[in-house]
Amino acid sequence: MSARAEVAVGMSSCGIAAGARTVFEALSTSVRSKGLPWSVVSTGCIGACHAEPLVEVRQPDGRRFLYGNVDEAKVESIVSGHLQAGAPVAELLIPADYPYLAKQRRIVLANCGVIDPESIDEYVAHDGYKALRKVLNTMVPDQVVEEVKKSGLRGRGGAGFSTGMKWTFAKDSKSLTGKKFVICNADEGDPGAFMDRSVLEGDPHAVLEGMLICAYAIGSDEGYMYVRAEYPLAIKRLHIALRQMEEQGFLGKNIMGTPFSFQLHIKEGAGAFVCGEETALMASIEGRRGMPRLRPPFPAARGLWDSPSNINNVETYANVPSVIRMGGAEYAKIGTEKSKGTKVFALAGKIKRGGMIEVPMGISLREVIFDIGGGIIGDKQFKAVQMGGPSGGCVPEKLADVLVDYDSLTATGAIMGSGGMVVMDESTCMVDVARYFLTFIQSESCGKCTFCRIGTKRMLEILTRITEGKGEEKDIAELEELAARIKVSSLCGLGQTAPNPVLTTLRYFRSEYDDHIRNHRCAARKCKALIRYHVLPDACTGCMLCARVCPTKAAHGERKKAHVIDQETCIQCGLCFEACRFDAIEIRTGREAGLAISAARMTPGTSSGGSHA
């Protein structure tokens, strides 16, 4: 649509981290010095993070060419070859049928990597605020809620509650304070998740427009964007967006000349994971420690400052303008029977093409991982994918054909979650993974509920024992018992889902636990206490490299003679293994590593707490 000649550089956090700023400057300098009629612009994240920095050449004729992995050197050939000579540099181009992009369906991310997120004009030019105009001018609140209901949109924050229903509750709730609030939850805290960040950095107005539509629908005149302070670029772009909205009459009194007024605050969260829980988030906005409280009352009845409040996450709000523009019925055509629309995922881990993707509901996990993600790095064996962060669970390879929809994923023991997808290969120890996520949960528990605060700690201690080869047969039963009780005896989602990583790994990878406990064997060779490094004398050339990197002088030997590793002093750091150029170092585990396994492990009795007096 832009008739201008543009070179757009992806300038979200991911791009910048990969060197987009340097590329942007190099492009600008080069274009300027050569006096070329191209403008260099910044845009949000197009999603192909594995190929950052990304540069898109948008020709006045409407044709677009995407270059990936651009660096300063490549800038020159793009400028001279493409911009100057008009011939796209074929060897640097990401092909138009690039499978990473081909299988996606971009609704939420439609503008990401397309428009300049710091320009409201570009947003407006891309149908921005059309939906708001439509609801303000042609719809009563009931109709708006009805339309959202019709779309089948469900909360994208994880739980998947019907957005239309939620809005209905907030709309129908009587306010004792005379206020209602609209809150956007942008406290994205799952390890490996960056959907909210990318959307806010790439298309902030879409989210804000969704919030305004919600406010109109439920009768609110004030809202909060709760965004974690660790997202400075998102916060900066939100501030720019708010300023521009005010300037153009999309925010404040009598928006677009209608009776509808709305003001919006940005609240920077201090980085507590639990503040993603809605009641904790509201406590945090109110200036208290972010700790969840019992629901009911739900926020729709009594929320922020005792007023009815509607809380949705970033992606949910970002869907709303599309729902209104397309109409609920049209939107509902995308996806499956019970899960409508698309879902944004952050694809990470041992995957060839990581990044942010948006796929229609109902696509299979295997398609996501292999067709879009290109499979596993180094073509290793795909083992499992962790869905939904620490509150989620892992889906094993054998269930990879499961469809991406709320209910199918829940049936596996994992959850849709907010969209984190961490892919694991054969070199991942599932006990260690469970321990990792539980460590995260334990340290992020707000400390209020007994089961979450102490129960997860005891689970973590058991897992740690198992990874250290100190596990006992009874540990599994104890893990399961604790997990079962923690799930049903915690106030908020954090506690209720805390045991999930353990439960799903136990469900699908029980043998790995048994192997750790019974055989002191970590098949993935990750658990340090269960592995031993050995030099293969036949392969060792005596190059002495291992001896040089070894921090404890455990690896030693004479030049040109096979080296040995002293097991007493070896700390299993793995530096020798990394350093060896001849594959002469082997990692052994279990019996082959000579780890003693006692036949009958005694279960120490618990002494009675009772006493006579």
Partner 1 sequence: MPDMIDITLDGRPLKVASGSTILDVAESQGIRIPTLCHDSRLEPYASCWVCLVQVEKAKGFVPACSTRVTPGMVITSGSSEVRGARRMALELILSNHYGDCKAPCTLTCPSNIDIQGYLGLVANGKFSEAVELIRRDNPMPAVIGRICPRPCEGKCRRNLVEEPLNINGIKRFVADLEAQSGGMKKRPVPAPNGKKVAVVGGGPAGLAAAWYLSEKGVKVTVLEAMGKAGGMLRYGIPDYRLPPAVLDTAISQMLSLGAELRTGVTLGRDVTLEKLRAEYDAVVLAIGAWKSRGLRIPGENHPSVLSGIDFLRDVNEGRPVKVGDVVAIIGGGNTAMDAARCSLRHGASTVTMYYRRTREEMPASDAEIEEALEEGIDIQYLAAPVSIQAEGDALKGLTLLKMALGEPDASGRRRPVPVEGSEYTVPVDTIICAVGQYPDTKLLSALPGLVDEKGNLLADMDTGRSEVPGVFAAGDLLTGTDIAIRAVAGGKHAARAALAYLEGRTYSRPKEFLSRKSDFREPTTADFETTPHAPRAHPTVMEPERRKRTFAEIESTLTMAAAQAEAARCLECGCQDVRDCALKMHATEYEAVATRYNGETTVHPVDESHPFISRDPSKCVLCARCVRVCLDVQAIGVFGYINRGFTSVVAPSFGVPFGEDTSCISCGQCVSACPVGALTEKLPARKNVPLPETAVEGTCTRCSVGCAIEYRWHGSLFTRIVERNGPPNFSKLCKNGKFGHEFLNDPLPPAADLEKARAAVSAALAGAKRPVMRISPYLGGEAIDAFLQAAAKRGIPVRAAGLEKVDARWSKFLSQEPAAAKKGARELLVLIGDIGGTNNVAFTEAYRQRRAGSAELWVLGHDDEVARRAAKRVIPDAAQGISEALKTDAAVIACVNPQTAPAGVLEALLASADKLQVRLYWGSRNAGYLFAKQAAAAAAPDLYLDVGVEEPTNGVRRLAWGKKRGDEELFIPLSREHWILGRSHPTGLPSVEHGKLDLKALQEAASLI
Quick one: which of 455, 471, 542, 590 contacts partner 1 (CB under 8 A)?
455
Is residue 470 near partner 1 by the rule CB under 8 A?
A: no
Is residue 474 near partner 1 by the rule CB under 8 A?
A: no
With contact defined as beta carbons under 8 Å apart, do 214 and 222 qualify?
Answer: no
* 3-state SS record for 536-569: CCCCCCCCCHHHHHCCCCCEECCCCCCCEECCCC
Among the residue ranges 220-228, 393-401, 483-491, 532-540, the one whose residues contact partner 1 (CB under 8 A): 483-491
Is residue 446 near partner 1 by the rule CB under 8 A?
A: yes
* Shortest reach from residue 296's CB to partner 1, in Å: 8
Among the residue ranges 243-251, 293-301, 320-328, 355-363, the one whose residues contact partner 1 (CB under 8 A): 293-301
Q: Name the one residue in this structure whose structure tokens are 């969704």.
A: 210
Q: Would you state the structure tokens that stand for residue 53, as one six-digit string?
A: 């920095």
Of the pair 403, 454, the CB lying nearest partner 1 is at 454
Q: How far apart are the C-alpha atoms of 47 and 342, rounded to whole Å?
A: 15
With contact defined as beta carbons under 8 Å apart, do 60 and 82 qualify?
Answer: no
* Shortest reach from residue 603's CB to partner 1, in Å: 13
* Shortest reach from residue 47's CB to partner 1, in Å: 33
With contact defined as beta carbons under 8 Å apart, do 417 and 344 qualify?
Answer: no
Of the pair 395, 463, the CB lying nearest partner 1 is at 463
Q: Name the one residue in this structure whose structure tokens are 């019709």.
A: 150
Of the pair 261, 450, the CB lying nearest partner 1 is at 450
167, amino acid identity: W
Is residue 138 near partner 1 by the rule CB under 8 A?
A: no
The SS3 of residue 219 is: coil
Q: Would you state the structure tokens that stand for residue 563, as one six-digit string?
A: 């080296």
Is residue 613 near partner 1 by the rule CB under 8 A?
A: yes
Of the pair 82, 448, the CB lying nearest partner 1 is at 448
What phi and psi, each to the nearest 5 degrees, are found at residue 59? -80, 150
Is residue 458 near partner 1 by the rule CB under 8 A?
A: yes
Residue 8: which of 167, 202, 236, 161 has the closest Cα? 202
What phi and psi, each to the nearest 5 degrees, are found at residue 254? 45, 65
Contacts with 403 (C-beta within 8 Å, 6 or more apart), sequence order = 336, 361, 362, 363, 364, 365
Site for partner 1 in 296-335 (CB under 8 A): 296
Is residue 445 near partner 1 by the rule CB under 8 A?
A: yes
Q: How far apart are the C-alpha atoms of 432 and 438, rounded to whole Å?
A: 10
Of the pair 114, 441, the CB lying nearest partner 1 is at 441
Contacts with 252 (C-beta within 8 Å, 6 or more apart), sequence order = 246, 261, 262, 263
With contact defined as beta carbons under 8 Å apart, do 218 and 182 qualify?
Answer: yes
Site for partner 1 in 269-288 (CB under 8 A): 272, 274
* Shortest reach from residue 611's CB to partner 1, in Å: 5
What phi and psi, each to the nearest 5 degrees, are found at residue 292? -70, 160
Q: How far apart are the C-alpha atoms of 243 and 385, rounded to whole Å?
A: 41
Q: How far apart are the C-alpha atoms of 382 and 188, rounded to whole Å?
A: 27
Of the pair 442, 589, the CB lying nearest partner 1 is at 442
- Mark residues 591-610: x for contact with partner 1 by CB under 8 A, - for none: ---------------xxxxx
* Shortest reach from residue 268's CB to partner 1, in Å: 18
Q: How far apart are the C-alpha atoms of 257 and 332, rounded to whole Å?
A: 31
Of the pair 445, 572, the CB lying nearest partner 1 is at 445
Q: Name the one residue in this structure whose structure tokens are 């997990």.
A: 483
Quick one: which of 50, 353, 448, 526 contacts partner 1 (CB under 8 A)?
448
Please count the residues of this chain forming the interface with partner 1, following the rule CB under 8 A: 41
Is residue 559 near partner 1 by the rule CB under 8 A?
A: no
97, amino acid identity: D
What phi and psi, each to the nearest 5 degrees, are found at residue 418? -85, -10
Q: Is the preceding peptide bond at 297 cis, omega within 30 degrees of 0?
A: yes
Is residue 611 near partner 1 by the rule CB under 8 A?
A: yes
Of the pair 127, 480, the CB lying nearest partner 1 is at 480
Is residue 294 near partner 1 by the rule CB under 8 A?
A: yes
With contact defined as beta carbons under 8 Å apart, do 554 and 571 qualify?
Answer: yes
Quick one: which of 215, 376, 449, 517 contacts partner 1 (CB under 8 A)?
449
Quick one: which of 13, 42, 43, 442 contacts partner 1 (CB under 8 A)?
442
Among the residue ranges 39-47, 62-70, 413-421, 448-456, the one whose residues contact partner 1 (CB under 8 A): 448-456
Among the residue ranges 11-19, 163-171, 490-498, 513-521, the one whose residues contact partner 1 (CB under 8 A): 490-498
* Shortest reach from residue 192's CB to partner 1, in Å: 20
Q: How far apart are the C-alpha atoms of 535 and 576, rounded to whole Å?
A: 10
Taking the CB of residue 591, how many other CB atoms lie within 10 A of it?
Answer: 12
Quick one: which of 52, 190, 196, 444 contacts partner 1 (CB under 8 A)?
444
Provide the β-strand partners of residue 225.
184, 266
Of the pair 57, 463, the CB lying nearest partner 1 is at 463
Among the residue ranges 90-98, 395-403, 424-432, 478-486, the one whose residues contact partner 1 (CB under 8 A): 478-486
Quick one: which of 13, 59, 185, 496 contacts partner 1 (CB under 8 A)?
496
The alpha carbon of residue 137 and the mean position of all alpha carbons in its chain are separated, in whole angstroms, by: 37
DSSP state of 84: I
Quick one: which of 143, 177, 261, 450 contacts partner 1 (CB under 8 A)?
450
Quick one: which of 174, 398, 581, 612 contacts partner 1 (CB under 8 A)?
612
Among the residue ranges 189-197, 322-330, 416-424, 457-465, the one whose residues contact partner 1 (CB under 8 A): 457-465
Q: Are strands 222-228 and 263-269 parallel, antiparallel or unpaired?
A: parallel
Is residue 291 near partner 1 by the rule CB under 8 A?
A: yes
Quick one: which of 67, 123, 216, 451 contacts partner 1 (CB under 8 A)?
451
Among the residue ranges 22-30, 158-166, 255-263, 481-489, the one whose residues contact partner 1 (CB under 8 A): 481-489
Residues binding partner 1 (CB under 8 A): 272, 274, 289, 291, 293-294, 296, 442-451, 453-458, 461, 481-482, 485, 487-491, 496, 606-613
